[in-house]
Amino acid sequence: MEQITSSDGYTQPPPYAALRVKAIQSLLVDKGLVVEDALNEVVDLYENRIGPKDGAAVIARAWAEPEFRQQLLDDGTGTLAELGMTGFEGAHVVFVENTDTVHNVVVCTLCSCYPWAVLGLPPAWYKAPQYRSRAVMEPRDVLQEFGTFVPDDKEVRVWDSTAEIRYIVIPERPAGTEDLTVEQLAELVNRDSMIGTRLATPRQEAIA
């Protein structure tokens, strides 16, 4: 089918965007409402410090420790808080687990709700209307565009995030990884596998 919208994930700004935000920043700084360092700091936090590696460490531990896995499933928000993973967005986090009969996938149809404190900021496709509109309507087709084929006899569950509740998928642990350490397991947990659009990375692809 011919594509109607731009295919660049909607990242090219219209001409007015850069100037308007510079004007807002400069007003806020001149009025003494913010300091420039704080603007840079919040960017640095989410660009360089918090990211999918944080979530990957949690998932790897859940694979290795059944008790911890159960804790995450029972009380995601509380368990993350114990690990110091709370964010601005301050929402509840619910973990859902993939099994041999269920595949979970997460979307935010209304906007872009996402567990920042655990995964960092969402990728552009997660925030674009292509994914948001179709993930709830034809999830298997969308998953195939990510190269993820879920067999017909496996149930697909789609979780629509809200401002109050965000979801994280615990992907299935890849086969043949019994001897790996938690740190090595974390290498197999790619960002998309925690959103549910991909599976965890097979061992041979991750540890070359």
Q: Which stretch binds other proteins (CB under 8 A): 54-62, 70-78, 115-123, 182-190?
A: 115-123
Catalytic status, residue 108: yes
Contact 88, 163 (CB under 8 A): no
Catalytic residue among 112, 133, 161, 193: 112
Q: Which stretch binds other proteins (CB under 8 A): 59-67, 74-82, 138-146, 176-184?
A: 138-146
Q: Which of 65, 78, 83, 88 binds other proteins (CB under 8 A)?
A: 88
Q: Which of 34, 81, 83, 207 binds other proteins (CB under 8 A)?
A: 34
- Tell the smallest beta-carbon distance from residue 175 to other proteins (Å): 25
Positions in 39-78 near other proteins (CB under 8 A): 39-40, 42-43, 45-47, 51
- Tell the smallest beta-carbon distance from residue 7 to other proteins (Å): 5
- Tell the smallest beta-carbon distance from residue 170 to other proteins (Å): 22
Instruction: Report DSSP letters for the chain, one per residue.
Output: ----S-SS-S-PPPTTHHHHHHHHHHHHHHTTSS-HHHHHHHHHIIIIISSHHHHHHHHHHHHH-HHHHHHHHH-HHHHHHHTT---TT--EEEEEE--SSEEEEEE-SSS----HHHH-SPPHHHHSHHHHHHTTT-HHHHHHHTT----TTSEEEEEE--SSEEEEEEPPPPTT-TT--HHHHHTT--HHHHHTSSPPPPHHHH--
* Pairwise CA distance, residues 97 & 192, whole Å: 14
Q: Which of 62, 80, 91, 199 binds other proteins (CB under 8 A)?
A: 91
Q: Which of 1, 66, 67, 151 binds other proteins (CB under 8 A)?
A: 1
**Both tokens of residue 208?**
């070359």
- Tell the smallest beta-carbon distance from residue 40 to other proteins (Å): 7
Binding site for other proteins (CB under 8 A): 1, 3-5, 7-14, 17-28, 31, 33-34, 38-40, 42-43, 45-47, 51, 88-91, 107, 109-112, 120-121, 123-125, 127-134, 136-137, 142, 145-146, 160, 163-164
Q: Catalytic site residues?
A: 108, 111-113
